[in-house]
Structure 1
Amino acid sequence: MSKRITPFASRYCRTLNRLKEAIRCKRPGLLRRGVVLLHDNATPHSANLTQQWLQRYGWEILPHPAHSPDLAPSDFHLFGPLKRHSGGMAFESEDDLISELRNWFDNLDVDFFRVGINSLWSRWQKCIDLHGDYVEK
């Protein structure tokens, strides 16, 4: 593994540690039943350090065909509504932008997130069935 990759893999493993701790606090039974994770094939996700972390904690990884934005809930569920909400807005500072984003997220109904996550399974299955080809709505 090259030295350039290691910091990114280390950072990703720290993120996984924070995720594991959040699950432990909010849904402790989930860790005992097993975690199934979908992440893409980015270098930090496929690095040896990350793979060792995932094996250590027994987290299962769903296959993710290369170049498949169809499986990123941010791409197929989040960015469209966010673009419609913020279209035409101008921000004087980064803090103003962050404030508006936080406000938007805080006011989303929990069903918005539920729909996005629940639709992931069918999109994933279609993508796998099509061997990574584009998934039509």
Structure 2
Amino acid sequence: MTSSAFPAHWRKAVDTGDASGFTNQDDFAGFFRATSMIRGCFDELSAEQKSNVVSLRDAYPSVNEAARRAASQERDASPRFIGLTNLARIPTLADLKPELAAIEAEISNMPRPDPWAKVIDRHNAARSCGK
């Protein structure tokens, strides 16, 4: 599924693998970030669309690497306190809020299992055993 928020040339790139509509390297890098596996929509794409995105990544490795570096720098821009030991000072709640928000954002993007799947499977299994 291609995001409806994508510009037309991004949707065309996802659907056909055509990179002719990109206006500059920043536009292309933005596309790679939006279709990434981390915080992007890659998992929501069809198999054919995933193949098109991977082909574009392979065809334009320098732009893809620039997008990865930018995403990494963005993640590293905020201080991380959780998991650190031997801190010079103990972080305050105000210090931890950006990190907690980033962690909550990562968690919200994780796929969630269907809470009813096991119940439905057990019910279906019980019904099929008697047949």
**TM score, norm. by length of structure 1:** 0.26
| Higher RCO (CA 8 Å, separation ≥ 6 residues) | 1
Q: Which has the larger radius of gyration?
A: 2
Higher helix share: 1
